[in-house]
Structure 1
Amino acid sequence: MIDEQNNGAAASDEENSPQFSLQRIYVRDLSFEAPKSPAIFRQQWEPSVALDLNTRQKALEGDFHEVVLTLSVTVKNGEEVAFIAEVQQAGIFLIRNLDAASMTHTLGAFCPNILFPYAREALDSLVTRGSFPALMLAPVNFDALFAQEMARMQESGEAAPSLQ
C-alpha cells in the first residue's frame, strides 16, 4: 500500500515537472535573389552585409509550440545589391509546466538559440549555391536580445508578448 502511494506521488511529480522536447526542425521558407548577376561577378568584391533577425511563435494543439527564426541578409557590393537571401527556420517544441515568465523566455530566447545553427547553415548553403562566398554569420546571444526587448517593452509600457 505504501509503495502504491509513493508511486502515485512520483507519477504526479513527474506530470507536473517542467518538460521540454524538440519535436522537429524544418525550413519554412527560403529565398534568394541576385538582381545584378552576372555583372556583379565581374566586379571587385568589397561586400557590406546587413542582417535582419526576427522570431515569432505560435501555440499549436496541446503543449506544442512552433517557433520560427527568420534571417534576412542583404549584401551590397559598393552601392549595388549583390544578393538578398532569407531563411525561415522553424521548429516544433513540446513545452509543459512552465510558468508564464519561463515560457516567454523559452520561446523568445532558448528555442531561437537552438534554431540558429540550422538557419545559419541553410543561409550559407543558399549563398554559396548562388556562387557567392559563405557568410559565416557570428553566433547570436538570444538571451541578451530577449532581455533588451523585454526592457524596451517595459520602458514603453507595452505588454509582454502573447503565447498565441
Structure 2
Amino acid sequence: MTDTPDVPQTDAPAAGEGEQKPQIQTRMITQFVRDMSFENILAQKGIKGDPTPEVQVQVSVDARKRGADDQFEIITKLNITSKTKEAQETLFILELEYAGVFQVSGVPEQQLHPFLLIECPRLTFPYVRHIVANATREGGFQALNLEQIDFLQLYRAQLAAQAKKQQESGEPVN
C-alpha cells in the first residue's frame, strides 16, 4: 500500500467557483415547413439519354424575435438545383424554407446572434435532410441525402459578406 499525502477538506469554493454562470436552456417549441417548391424540369422537357446529375445547394439562415419572451423563429432556406453535367440542363429545382421556433434563455446578449444562427439550425437539420430526401424521391429522382452543413462556417461567411458590403458602401463596420 502506498502512502498518500493528506489533503485538507474544505467546504469553501475554489477561486472562481463562487461565480455562477447562467445555465443555457434551449427548447424547440415547434418546427414546420414555411414554404416549399419542387419543380421537375426533366419530366416537363423530356431530356434525352441518362443524364448524370450535378447538384448545387445554397443555404442561408435567418432569425427573428417572436412576441413571447426568449422565443425566436429560425428559418433555414435551401435552394437546390440539379443540372446535367454535360449540357448543364436543369433536372429539378427544390426550394425549401424550414422554420423552428425556439425558447432560448441564459445566453449572453453578445453571443445570442451566433447561437441562434449556428446551434438552432443544427437541431432542425435532420428534419430538413429528411424532407429533401423525400421530396426528391417522390419527385421521381434518387433520394438526395444532404451532407452535414457546417453552420459555423456559414455564419462566418455571412458575417464576411456583410462586412464586405458595408465596406463597399462606405458604412462604418460594427
* TM-score, normalised by the number of residues in structure 2: 0.74
Deviation (angstroms), 1:80: 1.4
CA distance in 2, matches of 1:153, 1:39: 39
Give the drift of 1:117.
1.4
Classify 1:158/1:114 alpha carbon distance in 2 versus 1 (closer, same or farther; 3 Å).
farther
1:106 aligns with 2:112: no
Corresponding letter in the other structure for 2:147: A
Counterpart of 1:59? 65
**Count, aligned residues:** 147
* 1:7 matched residue in structure 2: none
Q: CA deviation at 1:158?
A: 6.7
1:101 shift after superposition? 2.6
Q: What TM-score do you get using the length of structure 1 for normalisation?
A: 0.78
Q: Distance in 1 between matches of 2:64 and 2:120?
A: 12
Hey, what does 1:79 align to over in structure 2? 88
Aligned to 2:28: 22
Distance 2:130 2:172 in 1: 34
- TM superposition shift of 1:154: 4.7
Say if 1:67 and 1:112, in contact at 8 Å, map to a contact too: yes
Query: SS at the partner of 2:144?
Result: coil
Deviation for aligned residue 1:143: 1.4
Say whether the 8 Å CA contact 1:60–1:66 is kept in structure 2: yes
Identical aligned residues as a percent: 24
Structure 2 Cα separation of the partners of residues 159 and 114 of structure 1? 31
Structure 1: which 5+ residue stretches go unaligned?
A: 1-12
CA-based RMSD of the aligned residues comes to 2.4
Is residue 2:43 matched to residue 1:37? yes
Q: CA deviation digits over 1:6-49, x for unaligned, max 9?
A: xxxxxxx89x6432111112111111001231554752120111
In structure 2, the residue corresponding to 1:137 is in which secondary structure? coil
User: Matches of 2:59 and 2:173 in 1, distance apart?
Assistant: 21
Given the alignment, which residue of 77, 86, 107 partners 1:70? 77
Q: CA deviation at 1:72?
A: 1.1
Whether contact under 8 Å (1:153, 1:159) holds in the other structure is: no
Query: Structure 2 regions of 5+ residues with no counterpart?
Result: 1-19
Match of 1:116 among 106, 120, 125: 125
Aligned positions of 1:112-151 closer than 5 A: 112-151=121-160
1:45-81 superposed Cα distances (whole Å, 9 cap, x missing partner): 2011111101111100221100010111010123211
**Greater helix share, structure number:** 1
Distance 1:116 1:148 in 2: 19
Q: Provide the rounded CA distance (Å) in 1 between the counterparts of 2:173 and 2:26.
A: 25
Deviates more, 1:124-133 or 1:18-27: 18-27
Query: Whole-Å Cα distance in 2 between the matches of residues 142 and 159 of structure 1?
Result: 23
